Amino acid sequence: MPTLTYRDALNQALREEMQRDPDVFLMGEEVGVYQGAYKVSRGLLDEFGPMRVVDTPITELGFAGVGVGAAMVGLRPVIEFMTWNFALLAIDQLVNSAAKMRYMSGGQVGMPAVFRGPGGAALQLGAQHSQAFESYYAHIPGLKVVMPATPADAKGLLKSAIRDDNPVVFIEGEMLYNLKGDVPDGEHLVPLGQAEVKRPGGHATVICHSKTVAVALKAAEQLAGEGIEAEVVDLRTIRPLDTETILASVTKTNRCVVAEEGWPFAGVGAQVVDTIQREAFDALDAPILRVTGADVPMPYNKVLERAAKVDPAKVAAAVKQVLYLE
Amino acid sequence: MATNVVMEALSPTMEEGRLVEWKKQEGEAVAVGDVIAEVETDKAVMELVARAGGTLLKQVVTAGATVPVSQLVAVIGEPGEAVSASAAPAPKASATPAPDAQSSQPSPDRNRSESMPPAPAAPQASEPAGRPRAPGPTATPGGNGQPAPSGGRVKASPLAKRMAADRGIDLAGISGSGPEGRVVARDLAQAGARQTAAPGAARAPAPSPALAGVTGPAYTDTPLTQIRKTIAKRLSQSIGPIPTFYLTTEVDMERAWEAREALLESAKGTEGAPKVSFNDLIIKATALALRQHPACNAWWQDDRIRYWNEVHISMAVAIEDGLITPVIRHADRKSLRDISAEARDLAGRARERRLAPEEYTGGTFSISNLGMLDIDEFTAVINPPEAGILAIGRIVPKPVAHDGAVQLRRRMRITMSCDHRVIDGATGARFLQTLTGMLENPLRMVY
Domain map (residue ranges) of chain B = 3-114, 143-195, 219-446
* DSSP three-state, residue A247: helix
By DSSP bridging, strand A114-119 and strand A168-173 are parallel
pLDDT of residue B201: 35
To the nearest whole number, what is the mean pLDDT of chain B?
Answer: 78
Residue B175 has pLDDT above 50, yes or no: yes
A321, B158: Cβ pair inside 8 Å?
A: no
Calculate ∠ Cα B209-B215-B220, nearest 5°: 115
Report the alpha-carbon distance of residue B199 to residue B217 in Å, rounded: 11
The answer to whether the CB of B273 falls within 8 A of the CB of B325 is no
| Chain A CA closest to residue B184 | A285
How close A284 gets to chain B, by Cα (Å)?
Answer: 5
Query: Which site among A257, A324, A325, A326 would you substitute to test the B interface, given the most B Cβ atoms closer than 10 Å to its Cβ?
Result: A324
| Chain A CA closest to residue B180 | A324
- Count A/B contacts: CB-CB distance under 8 Å: 34
* Confidence bin at B120 (pLDDT 50/70/90): very low
The domain defined by B3-114 carries CATH number 3.40.50.970: no
Q: Which amino acid is at A175?
A: M
Share of chain B above pLDDT 90, in %: 35
pLDDT digits (tens, 9 = 90+) for B289-331: 999 999 999 999 988 899 999 999 999 998 877 778 999 999 9
pLDDT of residue B269: 79
What is the gyration radius of the CA atoms in chain A, in angstroms?
A: 19
Q: Which are the contacts of A30, defined by CB distance < 8 A and separation ≥ 6?
A: A36, A37, A55, A82
Domains of chain A: 3-182 (3.40.50.970), 196-322 (3.40.50.920)
How close B182 gets to chain A, by Cα (Å)?
Answer: 9
pLDDT of residue B169: 81
pLDDT of residue B211: 52
* DSSP three-state, residue B98: coil
Architecture of domain B143-195: Irregular (4.10)
Residues of A with CB below 8 A from B160's CB? Answer: 285
Residue B141 has pLDDT above 60, yes or no: no
* DSSP three-state, residue B84: helix
Calculate ∠ Cα B424-B428-B429, nearest 5°: 115
Catalytic residues of A: 60, 129
* Confidence bin at B152 (pLDDT 50/70/90): low
The answer to whether the CB of A292 falls within 8 A of the CB of A260 is yes
* Confidence bin at B334 (pLDDT 50/70/90): very high
Burial of B18 from C-beta contacts in 10 A (0-12 / 13-18 / 19+): middle
ipTM > 0.90, yes or no: no
Q: Which are the contacts of B197, defined by CB distance < 8 A and separation ≥ 6?
A: none
B178, A286: Cβ pair inside 8 Å?
A: yes
Give A117's Cβ-side CA count (13 Å radius): 28
The answer to whether the CB of B170 falls within 8 A of the CB of B164 is yes
User: If residue A60 lies in a helix (H) or strand (E), which one and from where to where?
Assistant: helix A60-72
Residue B139 has pLDDT above 80, yes or no: no
Higher pLDDT, B192 or B409: B409
Nearest to B394 by CA among B209, B257, B270: B257
pLDDT of residue B214: 52
pLDDT of residue B16: 82
- E strands in A125-259: 144-146, 168-173, 180-182, 196-199, 204-208, 230-234, 237-239, 256-259
pLDDT along chain A (326 residues), means of 10: 96 98 97 95 97 97 98 97 96 98 96 97 95 97 98 98 98 95 95 98 97 98 95 98 97 97 97 96 94 97 97 97 90
Residue B239 has pLDDT above 90, yes or no: no
pLDDT of residue B288: 95
| Chain B CA closest to residue A251 | B159
Other CB atoms within a 10 A radius of the CB of residue B136 amount to: 12
Catalytic residues of B: 420
CATH assignment of B219-446?
A: 3.30.559.10
Give A31's Cβ-side CA count (13 Å radius): 29
Q: Which of the listed ranges A210-219, B187-196, B349-358 does the model predict with the highest average pLDDT?
A: A210-219
Range of weakest confidence among B319-328, B419-428, B434-443: B319-328
pLDDT digits (tens, 9 = 90+) for B255-280: 999 999 998 888 887 877 788 999 99
pTM of this structure? 0.52
The answer to whether the CB of B290 falls within 8 A of the CB of B389 is no
